[in-house]
C-alpha cells in the first residue's frame, strides 16, 4: 500500500501541485476497504475517485490517473500470470484439475478488463455513448434542463479524461516509473505466503513455486462474487499449499496470517483513512508544466 501511495503521488503530482503524500496514501487504503466490502472488488475504483475528489482534484484528471494506474496494475498481473503459468501450472493441473480451469478463466477476465479500460481512456466517442446509455435513466427522475446540463458536464469530464490519458501515454519515463513501482508492489504482495512459511519453519520451500501458486490464487479469487473472495480464497490456499505444509495446524495458521495481511489489515487501515481530513488543492488552473 505504501508503494501504491507513491504511484498515486507520482501520477497526480505530475499535473497537480501541493498534492501531499498523506492524501496519496489515503487513496490505496480506501481502495482496500471498498474492494474488501464489495462483490468482485467493484467498489475500489469509485472509492479512490471519491477520496481524490475530496482533495479538490478535477474528476477527469483523477479518473485518468486512477485508470492509468489500474491498467498498469492489471497489465503487470497478466505478465506475472504468464510467468507463473510456465512455472506452476503443471503442478495445479496435476493436483487439482478444476482449479486449473478457474485460473484460465481468471486470466481471461483480467485481459478483457484491460481492453475495456483502454477503450474508455482512448476512445472518447465510445466512452460518451456508453456513459449516455448508463446515464439515461436519470432523465426519468429530474427535469430536462438539469439532465442536459449534467450530461454536458459529464461529456466535459470525458474529454478531460481523454486529454489526460493521451498526455500520460506520451510520457514514457513516467510510465516506466509507474511500471517499475507496480512490479515491486506486486512482488512484495506475491511473496507474502513464502515469508509466512519461512516464519513457521518451512525453510526448504521453493520461493519461485510458492510465489507462482500465489499468483494463481489471486486469479482464482477474482472469480468469486463474495466480498474478498471469502471461501474461495481459503479453499484455494489450502488446496495449493497443503503439499508444502505437512502440519494441518500450521497450514490453518498460515492461512489465517495470510488473510489478515492481505485482506483484513487493508480494510482496517482503509476505515481509519476515511477518518483522516484531506488537504485541499486548487486544481482549477494550478498545473505543473
Structural domains of the chain, count: 1
Q: Write out the H or E segment, with its range, that includes residue 192.
A: helix 192-199
Q: pLDDT digits over 143-166, tens only?
A: 888 888 888 888 888 887 788 788
- Alpha carbon of 17 to those of 12, 14, 25, 30, 63: distances in Å? 8, 8, 16, 22, 17
Task: Give kind and range of the element (H or E) at residue 234.
Answer: helix 232-241
* Arithmetic mean of pLDDT, 9-23: 86
**pLDDT exceeds 80 at position 248:** yes
Answer whether residue 281 is part of any domain.
no
Q: Is residue 280 part of a domain?
A: no
Residue 76 lies in a domain: yes
Residue 162 counted as domain residue: yes
Overall average pLDDT of the 82-101 stretch: 73
pTM (two decimals): 0.81
- For residue 38, pLDDT over 80 is answered with yes
Within-domain flag for 285: no
Provide the residue range defining the domain that includes 159.
2-274
pLDDT tens-digit map of 123-149: 888 888 888 888 888 888 888 888 888
**288 lies in some domain:** no
- 222-229 long-range CB contacts below 8 Å, 24 or more apart? 222/40, 222/41, 222/106, 222/109, 222/110, 223/102, 223/105, 223/106, 223/109, 225/39, 225/40, 226/39, 227/36, 227/37, 227/38, 227/39, 228/35, 228/36, 228/263
Residue 283 lies in a domain: no
Average model confidence (pLDDT) for the chain? 84
Residue percentage of the chain with pLDDT more than 90: 26
111 in a domain, yes or no? yes
Q: Calculate mean pLDDT across residues 12-41.
A: 87
pLDDT above 70 covers a percentage of the chain that reads 91
Amino acid at each position: 500500500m505504501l508503494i501504491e501511495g507513491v504511484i498515486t503521488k507520482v501520477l497526480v503530482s505530475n499535473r497537480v501541485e501541493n498534492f501531499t503524500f498523506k492524501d496519496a496514501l489515503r487513496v490505496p487504503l480506501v481502495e482496500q476497504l471498498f474492494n474488501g466490502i464489495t462483490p468482485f472488488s467493484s467498489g475500489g475504483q469509485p472509492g479512490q475517485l471519491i477520496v481524490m475528489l475530496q482533495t479538490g482534484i478535477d474528476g477527469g484528471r483523477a479518473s485518468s490517473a486512477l485508470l492509468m494506474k489500474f491498467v498498469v496494475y492489471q497489465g503487470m498481473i497478466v505478465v506475472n500470470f504468464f510467468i507463473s503459468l510456465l512455472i506452476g501450472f503443471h503442478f495445479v493441473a496435476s493436483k487439482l484439475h478444476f482449479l486449473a480451469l478457474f485460473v484460465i478463466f481468471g486470466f481471461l477476465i483480467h485481459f478483457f478488463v484491460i481492453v475495456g479500460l483502454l477503450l474508455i481512456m482512448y476512445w472518447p466517442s465510445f466512452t460518451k455513448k456508453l456513459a449516455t446509455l448508463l446515464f439515461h435513466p436519470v432523465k426519468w427522475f429530474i427535469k430536462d434542463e438539469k439532465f442536459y446540463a449534467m450530461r454536458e458536464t459529464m461529456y466535459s469530464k470525458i474529454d478531460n479524461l481523454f486529454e489526460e490519458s493521451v498526455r500520460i501515454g506520451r510520457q514514457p519515463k513516467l510510465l516506466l516509473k509507474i511500471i517499475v513501482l507496480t512490479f515491486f508492489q506486486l512482488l512484495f504482495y506475491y511473496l507474502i505466503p513464502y515469508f509466512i512459511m519461512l516464519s513457521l519453519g518451512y525453510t526448504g520451500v521453493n520461493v519461485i513455486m510458492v510465489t507462482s501458486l500465489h499468483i494463481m490464487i489471486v486469479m482464482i479469487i477474482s472469480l468469486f462474487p463474495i466480498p474478498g473472495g471469502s471461501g474461495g480464497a481459503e479453499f484455494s490456499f489450502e488446496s495449493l499449499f497443503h503439499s508444502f505444509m505437512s502440519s494441518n495446524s500450521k497450514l490453518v495458521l498460515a492461512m489465517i496470517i495470510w488473510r489478515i495481511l492481505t485482506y483484513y489489515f487493508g480494510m482496517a487501515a482503509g476505515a481509519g483513512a476515511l477518518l483522516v481530513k484531506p488537504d485541499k488543492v486548487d486544481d482549477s488552473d494550478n498545473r505543473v508544466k
